[in-house]
Amino acid sequence: MSTHSARLGLVQISFAGVLWGTGGLGMKIIADHSSLSFLTVSAYRMVVAAVVLAVTVLARRSVAEVRDLLSRHPLRSTLVGLCTGGYQALYFSAVLSVGLTVATVVSLGLAPVLLAVGEAIRLRRRPLPRQTAVVLMALIGLVMVSSTGASAGAHPVRGVAEAVASGTLWALTTAISRGIAASTQPLALVTVATSAGAIMLVPLAFIGGGSFLPPTVAVAAALSYLGVFTMALAYGLLYAGLRSVEASAAVIATLLEPVTAAMAAALLLNEDIGVRGLVGTVAILGAVAALGRNDPEPVAISGAQT
């Protein structure tokens, strides 16, 4: 694989991370100017993205690629969409409950740790001491960030639980989509996944009740931004980047999401998670960054299949 392709992939994933980092801010803006529930906002985001992607597929005459993906990976590609819709809805709810910075750092910081633990269990390989230290550092940081939630949201305990659930689903989504992305056109994968997510979230939004129509042009514009940029474009960039970038490099690139979210929260929302929360944030981000380093092959546990 060429160095140019790897660099391009890293830029694509980095840009996706920046776009994701603005998603929580968009949700806060919508919440301040409307009574739309987080389920309704999530459904709008998925529907807008699905419509934009469907039009793009037709315009680029890529229907055959979508059909091929559905024939080869019908269950896995659909599950990617369902998990995507689920973790995004939980994330938006967490933003409202515990604040933008905490929700973003907890959900994004937990997912790579879960992936590392799951990989160690699946391969039955003993992790290196540094890898164990990384996991412990992330968990300590998670506790420190979580303990500061009372100053950043009205329902800190519930918000942290939602962020943890969101991070868990994000890890599951990444694990499922990793193999598909390598052999599938990004446009096809993001179109199928987004459509599946929209089909799941629209009924849930109606069941949840509340207002369904954006009350102002500004809210409609924010919903459109979430759908086009933080969903359709961002996930298209992610799947494109994963074709040429190793997972470790992708993890480091996505650190731009919490950095962007924290900057937006500090500058525009006046959120303050305090010194303890700042230390916890640094610990989680340090752990995630450390996961991207290349380690020598760990020692296999006696009796394990390798």
User: Mean pLDDT over all residues of the chain?
Assistant: 79
| Residues linked to residue 125 through DSSP beta bridges, in sequence order | 300
pLDDT at 284: 72
pLDDT at 292: 52
Burial class (CB in 10 A: 0-12, 13-18, 19+), 207: exposed
Mean pLDDT of 133-150: 67
pLDDT over threshold 50, residue 138 = yes
How would you label 166-180 residue by residue, b for 16+ Cβ within 10 Å and e otherwise?
A: bbbbbbbbbbbbeeb
What is the pLDDT confidence band of residue 232, given thresholds at 50, 70 and 90? very high
pLDDT digits (tens, 9 = 90+) for 255-300: 677 667 766 776 777 766 677 777 877 877 777 666 555 544 433 3
pLDDT digits (tens, 9 = 90+) for 56-77: 999 999 999 999 999 999 899 8
Cα 288–Cα 293–Cα 298 angle in degrees, nearest 5? 105
Cα separation, 144 vs 40, in Å, equals: 31
pLDDT at 297: 42
Burial class (CB in 10 A: 0-12, 13-18, 19+), 267: exposed
Domain boundaries along the sequence of the chain: 8-291
Cα separation, 264 vs 22, in Å, equals: 7
Count, residues in the chain:
306
Distance between first and last Cα of the chain: 26
Among 93-97, 112-116, 164-168, 225-229, the range scoring the smallest mean pLDDT is 112-116
